[in-house]
Amino acid sequence: MKTSGLVLAAVSAMALNVGGASAETFRLGSSGDLYGMDPHSMTDSFTVAFLHHVYEPLVRYDASLGTEPALATEWEWVSETTARYHLREGVTFHDGQEFTAEDVVASINRAIHPDSPVRGNMAGVIGAVAVDDFTVDITLEGPSPLLNNYLTNIYIMDRGWLEEHDSLDPIDAQKGEEGYTTSNANGTGPFILKSRTPDAKTVLTVNEGWWDEPVHNLTQIELNPINSDATRVAALLSGELDMIFPSPLQDARRIAGTDGIKVMQAPGLRTIMMGFNLSDTLNNSDADGNPLKDLRVRQAIAESISYDLLHEKIMRGTSRSAGTLVAPDVSGFDAEVDAISAYDPEAAKAKLAEAGYADGFRLAMNCPNDRYVNDAEICQALSAMMARVGIEVALTTETKSLHFQRARAGETDMFMLGWATLPMLDGFSVLSAMLHTPEGQYGTWNPGGYSNPEVDRLTTAVAVELDADKRVEMTIAALKIADDELAWLPLHQQPLSWAARDVVEIPQTADDKPRLWLAQIAN
């Protein structure tokens, strides 16, 4: 249903001026900026979440993280390898062009293009064909129990608009690539791109022709990237912002004690971990070859870490220490696999000596300073702990865009990554993107080069297994192999931490994605 002009007029008439802005202008302060406006150009969860206000998928997650119709109204399997989607009629893009099957076909094929960074979220998808103007068949290599989960993250773009601006092929923002779609947008979503100044402000205005019944009472969204925690908090407390995301844990008590401000915290799905460069040589090391290829060295690093210190001092008691790569709420989690290495510096030194590094060695560690909760502080603590067992760490903390660009290019020795299994909400997300040997649609976030034939076999089997119990068994088996081999070093699940003015009403979901089309600013 299109938004009623009378409803918008009534909402506007009830505007409440607070901090110099009307109640319908939602001012969000984030720790970092978007990678750009192209929804197929990166897998960064925050960018994907924000672009959902402009672009839409065929199927979306609701406030309870259940799937519901979006640009598709219904769907069915016509064979084991073909799913048919019936599209919503009467939907238009922001430039007024009609939404049809050709837009879906172009978007699916763009997302699975060999150069697309999101192709790992479409494992097993071969392509899409239009049956008629409002029916699309998606073809797959085999049965896909998670197809709708995949599609929640694949936003539909206007084929004609892409062709007009020579943008049918994807770009990779995390490699620094740019194109017309980096700074321009044309979606079907509840908000329209009004202006964008990278690293300063992105402004969206309400789409009065949105097909859905609006729940929000917003007329405009302003995204303000503010790297400094102190500055971001000050802007909220002074009334310059309506909400900050994330809210720094160290300031939670002070924020909650401020009149008119509330802190919102809840358990999160995102596992924070360290990745290892497992190539033949390191980038910044005085050791011959690559010590990280030796399991004993990786085990020594794990034993050098005090998980209690990270939990209590760095994360203020709000994290959940992790011994496996998925959170307890994610399919594939197993409590027995979730074993945390004991803090034992002497055992770590012994393993290093056994591996031939009794005198230690030097390596480089790269971490973001604007992506995860206390990310730079975590890496500073890790560096100090590793130094105590003889591993000298050259630490670089940097903005997320530079960090992930370097990590994916293999220019780091150790690097930080957070993974929430989105959009799948399933352990297969980790298997397919992070643990499978890089090839085709698999291993798109495996820059360290981990490879195990049995993990590869289990991953491809999980991709097509329709029996839920068998899928879980195989997922657990693959994760156990990867954990035993320390393919990645899991640290913890970080908490959801938002803060907002008391008048802001917004659902806080476990995927840590603010859905402002469900938000209201009360009068």
Could you give the number of structural domains in the chain?
3
Residues 452 and 354 in one domain: yes
Is 112 a residue whose pLDDT tops 90?
A: yes
Query: Are residues 178 and 58 located together in one domain of the fold?
Result: yes
Q: Say yes or no to pLDDT of 66 above 80.
A: yes
Of 150, 185, 220, the one marking the end of a domain is 185
- Domain contains 280: yes
Q: How far is CA 442 from CA 123, 142, 287, in A?
A: 7, 15, 31
pLDDT-above-70 percentage for the chain: 96
Instruction: Please give the pLDDT value at position 285.
Output: 84
For residue 227, report the phi and psi dihedrals to the nearest 5 degrees.
-65, -40
Is residue 194 situated within a structural domain? Answer: no
CATH number of the domain where residue 503 is located: 3.40.190.10
**422 and 504 co-located in one domain:** no
Q: 319 and 418 share a domain? A: yes
Residue 344 in any domain: the answer is yes
For residue 483, give the H/E element and its range.
helix 468-484
Read off the pLDDT of residues 211-237 as tens digits, 9 standing for 90 and up: 999 999 999 999 999 999 999 999 999
- Cα distance between residue 112 and residue 99, in whole Å: 20
Domain identity same for 414 and 459: yes
Pair 333, 438 in one domain? yes
**Which residues lie below 8 Å from residue 299, measured CB to CB, with a gap of 6+?**
341, 348, 351, 486
- pLDDT of the residue at 523: 73
Q: Provide the CATH number for the domain around residue 140.
A: 3.90.76.10
Give the pLDDT mean for 462-484. Answer: 95
Whether 190 is in a domain gets the answer: no
- Looking at the structure, tell me whether residues 88 and 108 fall in a common domain: yes
Residue 21 confidence (pLDDT) above 60: no
pLDDT in tens, 31-43: 999 999 999 999 8
Q: Are residues 275 and 335 in the same domain?
A: yes
Indicate if 360 and 234 belong to the same structural domain: no
Query: Is residue 124 located within the same domain as residue 78?
Result: yes
Please state, for a pLDDT cut of 90, what percent of the chain lies above it.
Answer: 83
Task: Report pLDDT for 14.
Answer: 31
CATH number at residue 302: 3.10.105.10
**Distance, CA of 337 to CA of 26 (rounded, Å):** 43
The whole domain housing 260 covers 1-33+199-266+496-523
Say if residue 115 is in the same domain as residue 163.
Answer: yes
* Per-residue pLDDT at 131 exceeds 60: yes
Residues sharing a CB contact under 8 Å with residue 382, sequence separation 6 or more, in sequence order? 274, 305, 365, 393
Amino acid residing at 6 = L
Residue 2, domain member (yes or no): yes
Q: What pLDDT sits at residue 7?
A: 27
The mean pLDDT value for 439-467 works out to 94
Q: Are residues 323 and 461 in the same domain?
A: yes
Judge whether residue 336 has pLDDT over 90: yes
Work out the average pLDDT over 150-174: 96
